[in-house]
Structure 1
Amino acid sequence: MNTSVLNIEGMGCSGCVDTVENTLSALPGVKSVTVNLQKGTAMVDFDEQEVSETEFKQAIKEAGYTMTGIQG
């Protein structure tokens, strides 16, 4: 199990939070997602055997947001 904090640009409301949480939660291997609107981050607990950070970036892009980096 791995935990990463994704920096995400473009979120402006609680609907954006829901979209990002649902998008990331739908990926295989993702165990939990916590989005912080004020910080512009999403903390993701995931199985690195099933999903990669590249897949996070692509899913976020397809949802209409931009992943600008990863902490941890």
Structure 2
Amino acid sequence: MQTKVFGVEGMSCGHCQQAVEAAALAVTGVQKATVQLEDKTLTVTYDESNFQVVELVAAIEDAGFEMGQS
């Protein structure tokens, strides 16, 4: 398992937090997703053999947020 922190722009409330976490958890290989709303970050724990960052970026952007690596 690996853990990585990503910056996510566009989050402003608890609903945003839940939407980003749900989108991340729907990505193949993601085991845990935690948003720190104050820091505008998403911490993801994933199985490196079954995970692609591009899929995570697409899922977060499809949910209406902008993602970059923190």
- Which segments of 5 or more consecutive residues in structure 2 lack a partner in the other structure? none
Q: Which runs of 5+ in 1 are unaligned?
A: none
**Distance in 1 between residues matched to 2:54 and 2:4, nearest whole Å:** 12
Relative to the length of structure 2, the TM-score reads 0.93
What does residue range 1-72 of structure 1 map to in structure 2 within 5 Å?
1-68=1-68, 70-71=69-70
| Greater helix content | 2
Aligned identity (percent) is: 37
Q: Report the CA distance between 1:40 and its aligned residue.
A: 0.3
- State TM-score, norm by structure 1: 0.91
RMSD: 0.9
